[in-house]
Amino acid sequence: VQLQASGGGLVQPGGSLRLSCAARGFNSRYFAVGWFRQAPGKEREGVSCISGSDPSTSYADSVKGRFTISRDNAKNTVYLQMNSLKPEDTAVYYCATDYPEGLCTPGVLKSVNRWDYWGQGTLVTVSS
């Protein structure tokens, strides 16, 4: 089970970025996949997750209405579309899977330690 995150970069406040999480070694469509972030000096926090086999999603309150998680099953990839970015969104973003579990709920998203498989981080910097 491997994950590779990409798509980070420098963006101005109000701008957009799309992060990608490519899965290897398993079919991610059947399992929960999540995005997390860690800002300097802060704990890692859940941003969003999507369930396997159904379209249910969860979001942190701080990103609701601005971020959208989605899947492309043909590419075995999960995306995080980030719009209306704010300086406080600056962090290293990680994707992870709750393999072999399939359900994404707000509680699962907040339980960072239960996610066993992680990709490398991708840095998002929101600054003018």
pLDDT tens-digit series, residues 23-63: 999 999 999 999 999 999 999 999 999 999 888 999 999 99
pLDDT at 9 over 90: yes
CA–CA distance, 87 with 83 (Å, rounded to integer): 12
Which of 71, 81, 82, 75 has the alpha carbon at shortest distance from 31? 71
Identify the bridge partners of residue 23 per DSSP, sorted by sequence position: 3
Quick one: pLDDT at residue 53? 80
pLDDT at 99 over 90: no
Q: Respond yes or no on whether the N-terminal peptide bond of residue 13 is cis (omega within 30° of 0).
A: no
Q: How many helices (H) and strands (E) does the chain have?
A: 1, 11
- Lowest mean pLDDT of 19-23, 74-78, 99-103, 118-122, name the range: 99-103
CA–CA distance, 29 with 37 (Å, rounded to integer): 22
